[in-house]
Structure formats: C-alpha cells, structure tokens
Structure 1
C-alpha cells in the first residue's frame, strides 16, 4: 500500500461499504447473507487506527448454500481495487506469514470469505446451532467465540440461517445462566480469603497477585450478570467499562489494585456485586454484607452461599448436581487450548457426566 494512508473508518463501517457498494451489486438474484462476524477488533467495534497495521481491512463473510467457487471467482475478478480509499486485497505479511497486510498488488486476494453457514458455524463453534443448542454445546464454547458470532453486524440475510444462528446463541438459557454464575461465584469463594492471609504472612506480591485474580473474576461476573459474554483479556477492561455495573463497581476494583488494604476494597466490591446478583431474581436473595473468615480478622463475602443459592434454582440435574466448573473458559485460559474446540468439547463432556 504505497499511497498515503486513507482516513480511518471503523471496520464495521468499512465492511458495510464494501458490501453495499461493491459486493451486493454482483450478487443480484443470488440468495445470500452478508456479515462481518468472527475474530478481529472491528467485530465488537473496538478497532482504532492502530488496528490497521495487520489483519484489518475491508472484509466480509458471504453465506451461500451453493456455487461457492463461482462466487469467489466472480469477486476476485470484479471487486474494485479500493473502497473508501482502502485496498480491498490482502497478501501475507512477509515478516509474519500468519498475518495479512493490505495491498494494491494484483497478486493479493480479496477479503470476502464465501462460505456455507453450517460449515462456518462448525468451524467457529464446534457444532451447528441449526440442529439445536445442547447443554454440552454451551459449556464447550469459549465465551469469546460466542461474542464473535453474536457480535459484529449482518448487512443482508435473505437466507435467514445466520440470523437464526445468532438468535439461538444470543444468551444462555436460564438454567445455564444460573450455572455459569454459580461457577463464577465459586471461583471467588475459593480464593477470597487468600488476600488477607497473604498480607498476614507478609507476602505483598502474593497479595497483589490474588487481588488481581479476584478483580478479573469480579469483572467477568459483572459481565455475566448483565448478559454479556466475557471477551478475552485484551478487551476485558474495555467491555467491562461499558456495563452499568462499571460506574458502581469499577472504582472499587481500581482501588483494590492499588490500596494498602486490598482485602477491604474487595469486600466492598463483593457487596456491590452481590446486591446486583440479588436484583436479578435468579436465586434467593442473600445478605451481601462481608463477614470475617472463620476467626480471622479479614473480610470475605462467603461467596459460596451465592453458588449454592443459584444451583438450588436449576432444574436440570446434570447441571445442578454435577461438578461446578462452568464453561471451558472458566477453568482454562490458555490461548492455544481455547483454540482447540475438539479437545475442549471432550473435556466439557467429561465434567458434565461426572457427579459433583
């Protein structure tokens, strides 16, 4: 790309222009859907000028039932070289072949993926939601993947299938919602006393590490309470900041990360999040007030109470009586592991079959 850099446009806006101005006229009479879904900072609308240095550009998915190769060839021959000033073709980055760079070279390939909606769903999710969404499907898919499929934008859909898929995955059924919340509270219950104990033995670094873990868990809990799929770490703070809870809970979490007494700040954060939990009506309301951990002089919520209250309202015995570990990204956070949907599905299935 040798010309001066064009004016930045958010990727969703640029992709809409690519579809409406260049792709749609070529597909007249062909039933299809057009969308920008999947990975990429532009899908949740979080891209900036910095994003343009790799992998970013005018791109789409075109969903069709047949003639994929013919449509792909048509786009390769007919798309304009630029849209809104940005090249419409990509080449592998010579310094990082796993990434793509925008190019004006005729050797470049356009950024429109022509795919079957069912095949695409299986590749992104590990299953086809068109056949229904089972408990194992919900548990085996990282929330980042669910956010990628339900986020972004659909620019056209006269097939209806991709819209149905997005609707089916819009949010967990109530039993699953209670379950993932219960498991998130359980994570907090397992470590909430460690902050004070680390401080008591003079382990300042350990105190900070545990505090940061609990802050992260509380942020993810707030997202789940507001029916938002938690994203991966890069965007966790940005998406959290868009929540209603961020105004009330965010400043307390920030203080916990810098305070000389993080256990006290965390206790206040627990109280505020517990009150929000009570307002959902998903479980019997419980006292949100912090209390000592046994006879030790540091405050905790005793968050396991909220786990038990949520589990008690679940009708599905496999969830209610099973191992309370949650979805795969509630107990795994390795990037490479979360990218392998087959092994994740096997592991989630084993936990689902095991009694608690």
Structure 2
C-alpha cells in the first residue's frame, strides 16, 4: 500500500468511528513496513499513531512512539527536513496536550527554523504551524503571543484557495484567545466568521464542534447559561459518538457541571445585570435611544437579592430576572407607559429562571420616577440632622443597596451617594444610644430577671442585648444594619469587632443557666456562662471605642462611656438630646 492509500483507508475508518479498527490497522501496517524496511511509510504510520494516542489520551504509549520517531529521523538524516518538521509538529502537539510545554516549545522552535530555510514566506504549511504554536502559548498563559501567532496564521490562509475550513479553524482559535483576555466583542466577531465558514464549507467537520464549544463558552461568560448548556450538550454528544469519553469529553462535562452548579447558586444581582446586558440594553437602545441619556438602570430596594445575601432558599419568592429603570419626573410622565410596555415584553425566563413574585413583592422592578422611588422608602430625603436621626435605617439601606448597572443622567447616583451613610454626629449619637441599651439589657436587666427566676423576661433582655450589639457593630463599621433576618449574616462584611461574631453565636446556643442562680445576688454572676459572654463582648466593644477615639475610659459598664462618647458630637442640638433618643 502506498502512503496515499493508507491515508485514505484511515480516513474512512475515522469517519465511521472505527477507532479500534484504525489502531489495529496501524499496528499491522507498521509491522509490514518494518519487514520491508520502508522508513518513509514507518514514519508516516508512527505520526498517525501519535495522533491516535493524542485523541484517545493514551499518553504513555504515545511517548514511546515519539522516541521511535526521533530515532528514525536521526537514522535517515531527516532531522533538518520538511518531513522532520512535520514529525516535530505532531509530537509537539502531543506534548502540549500532556502539559509538557517546554518540550513542545523547543520542537516548535526547531520546526520554525526548518521552515524559514526551506519554505517561501506564505507557504500553506506555515498556517498549521502558527495555529499550533498559538495554542501552546495560550495554554502557557502568554495570550498576546498566542494572538500574534493566530493573526499570522490567518493572514496566510486568507490568501490560499480551498482553505476555508482552515480559515474557520483559525478564526475559532483567535476567538479563544480574545475570550481568555475578556475581549468578548472581538471574540464574538471571530466566532461569527468561523461558524459561517463551517456551515458553508464543513458542517460535519470535527473542528466545527470546537467552534461551537467556544460559542458556548462565550454565552457562559455573558451569563446566558441556557444557551451555553444547549450548545455544550450538542458538542458532548458528538465527542462521545466519535472519540469516546476522552480528555475533551471530560473538559466539556466539567463545563456543564460548573454551569449547572452556578445556575443553582447565582446571586440575584448578577442574574439581573446579565439579563439587562443581554436584553434590556438592546431594548432601550433600539426603542428609546433618545431618552437613554436620562435613564438610570439597576437593581435596588427591598429584598435579599439587593443585599447580595440571597441563596438557593431565596429563589422561591421575589427572585428572578428583572431590573429598575429610574427616570426624572418630566421624562417619566411622558414615556413611562411606553417603556413599561416594552419592559413587559422582555423574556420572562433567563438562565432557566423565571421571576417569582409574592403578594407583597409587586412593584420591585420596572419603570419608576426617581424621587418617588426613593420616597416610597424614606417619605422624604433627610435634610436636617433631626431628619437623619429619625430616618428609618432599613429605608436608608434600601435606597443605597443593590447595584446600578448604568446611570447616564447621574441623579440616582447623586442621591445614593448623599444617603450612603449617616452624618458623623448622628452616627456618634446612635453609638451612645446602643451602648446605653446594651448596658441596660445585657449587663443589668438580664441578671435581675434571672434573680427573679423570670426566664422569659431574661430571654427578652438577652435578645435586646444581641440586637443592640449588632446595631453597634454596624455603626462602628459605618454601615447600615440590615433587617433582623440578615443582621447577623451581614457581619461577614464588617471589619471592626469580628471577634464578637462567634461570641454572639455561642450566646444563643447556650442552654438555660437557671441552675447557677439560686441565692445569687451579684449582677456579675460568673457561674452563668451567658453573663461571661456578655462581659467579653462588652470588653471588645470598649477596645473598639478606644481605637476610634470615642472613649478613653476603662470602666467595664458600657453606660458609663455614653457621656464621653456624646461629647464628640459637634452640633449642640443633637448633643443635648437624651442618650436614649434616636
């Protein structure tokens, strides 16, 4: 058999997915070529075996074949020839798949020297060479070199007749490089070129599915999980039907598993921003481009998703794709009905998730007039220090949480920045109030209730102490406190007083301490482990007051720090208020 006949028979076997038969045929033909001492045929067949072992991930066997190829090249004096360069490329590609990058790079560099000596500058062999070298640089993390090599390959194949499949492969490889450095627009442009070429010239070519896998990756990066999964499953089926569950199959399966996991755990803010980028932005630009400069778009307001604290449990209500469009009064009056109508036409499902709205969750997304949106929480934007003192903390948090995806007019961002946190005099006033309430509930009344054997009242006192401790931690961290469901969880975002977090958990996990209170008259009863924990927490608080320059006292009783803390208030009117006020 001639080499051309061997190649034709092998191609037919691969086309029919007869991998075992192809390997048996290769072994048989190698033995026959050895008997004939036909080194050219042996070299061709061993190179085919390298390819077989690469796609079937049989690396140990392939490495042995590579050594045999090197010996034949040396024996036949082919080390500096085009035949030698062809073998080097095959072995280098095999090494790359194994992660033997330096060995692969050395062989590619050797090949390039041979090509420069033997070939014209735009010879077709350069195209495959630069493609393979680019893939190596990509896996080594040198993305700029990888892109440069792909561009060299593309410049060559575009000039060659009947090389449209190679051109499509090159576009696919180049798109992968761009995705690696987050240049998604350039990647998408290359992918569209590649897929168009494959559909026209090679709809059944194996490389077409590599292009589709890259397209799936681009959808994944845009958070379009449903499309990504659909394409990945098609690619997975093709790989298994032709090559079995090889390394490429396992890679695609891992991608599928990762997407399915992320779909279960995706945060609402990320979901809604991806939904806006994929659908909302286009709707606005195509239908309302003239008023886009006045729009702010994002997700903010009430809800666990706006805090970034949502989890799988949160998905059962008031969760799903959606966003807020905020407009100045005049623009809202003129256009809100048209915009809301277009908003309602957006897909109701995204990433496999439909928005679920509870009876109390209506009106959280859609089109809003800016000032009215904020006033639904605050009634009015605080103007004076008294306004700030009595403003509802949950309302302030609702106005400043979440994420703004785009604010062209700037009004929403300006309001959020203004409301971002209390004026310093108000923060100090509220700190003093928390100290007084912590002392009253935890250091004083808990013990008195236990002395009276009133465990219900003692539990209420303990709960008040915990609530005030949480409030104080947020104040010392200059953050608004979330409502009760998330106030403990949110401590993970607080840097000051982190040591208090586990103590609060211990405090609520302790059983009743009533057995330690018979005939106890002392308020600081160290036999009661809850009392011990309360005092530990108070000591940590005092240390933080010192660090922030709010108190210099070492008194153990928090109430005795309140007057010094209040003395730091600059405004006379606020400083003269009762410690418990506000």
Q: TM-score, normalised by structure 2?
A: 0.47
Is contact 2:343-2:366 (8 Å) kept? no
Residue 114 of structure 1: CA displacement?
0.8
Q: Does 1:116 align with 2:350?
A: no
Counterpart of 1:38 in structure 2 is: 301
- Equivalent residue for 2:449? 198
- The count of corresponding residues between Structure 1 and Structure 2 is 292
2:304 paired with 1:20: no
Distance 1:311 1:72 in 2: 49
If each structure's helix is expressed as a fraction of its own residues, which one has the higher value? Answer: 2
Q: CA 1:210–1:156 in 2, change beyond 3 Å: closer, same or farther?
A: same
1:278 equivalent among 546, 551, 570:
546
Q: Counterpart of 2:566?
A: 311
Partner deviation per Cα, 1:207-242 (whole Å, 9 max, x = no partner): 333223212211221111111111111111111243
Displacement, 1:245? 4.2
1:252 Cα offset (Å): 2.6
CA distance in 2, matches of 1:138, 1:201: 40
Question: Is residue 126–residue 141 contact of structure 1 (8 Å, CA) maintained in 2?
Answer: no
Does structure 1 conserve the Cα–Cα contact (< 8 Å) formed by 2:308 and 2:402? yes
Give the Cα–Cα distance (whole angstroms) in 2 for the partners of residues 246 and 285 of structure 1. Answer: 18
From 323, 338, 354, the counterpart of 1:87: 354
1:238-253 matches, cutoff 5 A = 238-245=489-496, 247-253=498-504
- Residues 199 and 207, structure 1, Cα contact 8 Å, conserved in 2: yes
**Distance in 2, Cα, partners of 1:284 & 1:41:** 35
What are the ranges of 5 or more consecutive residues in structure 2 without an aligned counterpart?
1-225, 227-259, 514-527
Q: How does 1:29-108 map to 2 (within 5 A)?
A: 29=289, 30-31=292-293, 32-65=295-328, 66=331, 67-77=335-345, 79-87=346-354, 97-99=359-361
Which residues of 2 match residues 132-281 of structure 1 at below 5 A?
Answer: 133-191=383-441, 192-245=443-496, 247-257=498-508, 258=510, 260=513, 261=528, 262-281=530-549
CA distance in 2, matches of 1:251, 1:81: 42
SS at match of 2:367: strand
Q: CA deviation at 1:51?
A: 1.3
Q: How far is the alpha carbon of 1:319 from its aligned partner?
A: 0.9
2:85 is aligned to none
Higher relative contact order (CA 8 A, sep 6+): 1
Displacement of 1:321 after TM fit?
Answer: 0.9
Are 1:184 and 1:326, in contact at CA under 8 Å, matched by a contact in 2?
A: no
TM-score by length of 1: 0.75
CA deviation profile, 1:44-70 (whole Å, cap 9, x unmatched): 111112112121111211012211112
- For 2:436 and 2:311, how far apart are their aligned partners in 1? 36
Q: Which moved more, 1:35-44 or 1:239-248?
A: 239-248
- Can you give the 5+ residue segments of structure 1 that lack an aligned partner in the other structure? 101-109, 291-300, 328-356
Decide which structure has the larger Cα Rg and report it. Answer: 2
1:125/1:186 CA distance change after superposition, 3 Å: same
Contact 1:37 1:149 (8 Å CA) reproduced: yes
Aligned equivalents of 1:115, 1:126: Cα separation in 2: 15
Tell me the SS of whatever aligns to 2:438. Answer: helix
CA distance in 1, matches of 2:485, 2:390: 21
Which residue number corresponds to residue 267 of structure 2?
Answer: 10
CA contact (8 A) 2:321 2:349 kept: no
